[in-house]
Every structure is written in structure tokens, then in C-alpha cells.
Amino acid sequence: MTVLQGVLLVLVALGGTAVVLVRDPLRQSIVAGVFGLLLGLLFFAFQAPDVALSQIVVGSLALPSMIVLTLAKLARLQRPDE
């Protein structure tokens, strides 16, 4: 295992913990996006560039945007005459 792989493993562990510890859903979606990016870098360091690309586009793009849009809809339902 190289130093880079070790550092990224630790960063992914910290990122995953951060996602759980952040309790506000909106902030959580952003932290989850950063976590997705870290996971992508980890896959890249482990010589799996195909998986890394998929992880980056889905984990830090598609997933957070869907969560943010859902949260916006929920906020709108709670305050209908904003």
C-alpha cells in the first residue's frame, strides 16, 4: 500500500464520519458530495479509473443534486405561501 492510498483511506473514513455527524440535511448533502469525490479519488489511487469516474459523476453530482431538489420541494410544502 502506498502513502497516497493510506492517506486517502483515512480521509474517506473521516469523510464518512463527517456525513453522519452533520445533522442538517442541506449541509449533509454537500458533505456527502465531498465524500463522494474523496471516494472517487480513493478508487483512482487503487488503479480503478473507470469506477472512479462513475463514482465522481454519481456521488458528487447526481446524488447531491437530487437530495437538494427534494429538500427544496419539502421546504416549499411546509411553507406554501412563501
Q: Which three cell numbers mark 18?
A: 463527517
Cβ atoms of 57 and 49 within 8 Å: the answer is no
17 is a site residue for other proteins (CB under 8 A) = no
50 is a site residue for other proteins (CB under 8 A) = yes
Least separation in angstroms between residue 48's CB and other proteins is: 8
| CB count in 10 Å sphere of residue 64 | 20
Least separation in angstroms between residue 46's CB and other proteins is: 10
58 is a site residue for other proteins (CB under 8 A) = yes
23 is a site residue for other proteins (CB under 8 A) = no
